[in-house]
Amino acid sequence: MSEDNFPSGKLANDGLPPLRDVIATHDLSAQKKFGQNFLFDLNLTGRIARAAAPLDDATVIEIGPGPGGLTRALLFNGAKNLTVIERDPRCQPVLAQISNHYPGALHVIDGDALEVDVTTLGPAPRKIVANLPYNVGTQLLLNWLMQIDQFASLTLMFQKEVAERVVAKPKSKAYGRLSVICQYLCDCDILFDVHRSAFTPPPKVTSAVVQLRPKADRGTQINLASLAKITQAAFGQRRKMLRASLKSLNINVGRLLESTGIVETARAEELSVEDFVLLTDCYSRLSASEDKQ
Ligand code: SAM
């Protein structure tokens, strides 16, 4: 059996109805506009939940619980303070049923995760665990990264292509803005792949579970907004040399690159994460000195 297929034998019995019955009873046919691809395999949802362990001492946050497969696994595996945010109102009765089954442990927010400041949902340590809707997954991740010190870990299911961008190394096709920002802030690992057949309906591509854990010491402290701006400029025109791609920063690019020791003819994908950190640090100093003049 391959790594991404799971036995469908005896599963953890949480006393709630099987997920397929829940979907049928509540008529929860998956809707594309909500990015819905549901997981029914409790072995798989259990595996994702356990990857984020321990859960009992943390504020656990799940985005997009849908019919509650992963939610139930998180609760079954010990989460005592779990908040879920779901945009599809059809899921609310099902989530209420789960909440009644685990009194006091599950809090449900009916809303858009892009508009919720998840750091207000409970004290640290905070862990986000989610099978993310593909249409807003990357944006949510970028939002959380901008305040990463608020979290103990992010355990997230993405399309494999996005997961590969998170962990990509320089000089690879997948290496880009997301790789640099994620790897500056966090230790990042792909934990396992999940075959498309595990979802209902199956998406077009393979998925993967990624875990990001904030680094205790990330060396040079830099301005994240500047890192985001520089990586956007550099990778926005990734085939161009830096002396051209960084022009949009409205700074003396020659001076900037000279102060870093990075050659003007280098391209974004050749730079290491450390190079981008140095570039950002020098950019902040140079901007400050140009502002003074
Ligand atoms: N967690 C469930 C599972 O694993 O079976 C469902 C995962 S499905 C890929 C994504 C879920 O996110 C859907 O239930 C969808 O309705 C919800 N969703 C989509 N956009 C959202 C948003 N902006 N905020 C909160 N939930 C959202």
Residue ending a domain, choose from 214, 248, 280 = 214
Q: What is the pLDDT of residue 291?
A: 72
Tens digits of pLDDT across the chain (293 residues): 333 333 333 456 899 999 999 999 999 999 999 999 999 998 999 999 999 999 999 999 999 999 999 999 999 999 999 999 999 999 999 999 999 999 999 999 999 999 999 999 999 999 999 999 989 999 999 999 999 999 999 999 999 999 999 999 999 999 999 999 999 999 999 999 999 999 999 999 999 999 999 999 998 999 999 999 999 999 999 999 999 999 999 999 999 999 999 999 999 999 999 999 999 999 999 988 877 66
CA 31 to centroid of ligand 1, rounded, Å: 10
pLDDT in tens, 65-91: 999 999 999 999 999 999 999 999 999
Instruction: Specify if 141 maps to a domain.
Output: yes
pLDDT in tens, 205-259: 999 999 999 999 998 999 999 999 999 999 999 999 999 999 999 999 999 999 9
Ligand 1 in reach of 66 Cβ (< 6 A): yes
Q: What is the pLDDT of residue 8?
A: 37
Q: pTM of the prediction?
A: 0.94
* 136-143 CB contacts, 8 Å cutoff, 24+ apart: 136/35, 137/35, 137/162, 138/162, 138/178, 139/114, 140/63, 140/113, 140/114, 141/166, 141/178, 141/182, 142/178, 142/181, 142/228, 143/114
- Of 137, 195, 194, the residue nearest 166 (C-alpha): 137
Query: How many domains are contained in the chain?
Result: 2
Give me the CATH number covering residue 15. 3.40.50.150
- Of 170, 191, 184, 179, the residue nearest 215 (C-alpha): 184
107 and 206 in a single domain? The answer is yes
Ligand 1 in reach of 34 Cβ (< 6 A): yes
CA 219 to centroid of ligand 1, rounded, Å: 36
Ligand 1 in reach of 140 Cβ (< 6 A): no
| Cα 243 to Cα 248: distance, rounded to the nearest angstrom | 10
The residue whose CA has the least distance to atom 11 of ligand 1 is 64
Q: What is the pLDDT of residue 293?
A: 64
Provide the residue range defining the domain that includes 23: 3-214
- Of 164, 183, 187, 188, the residue nearest 174 (C-alpha): 164
129 and 160 in a single domain? The answer is yes
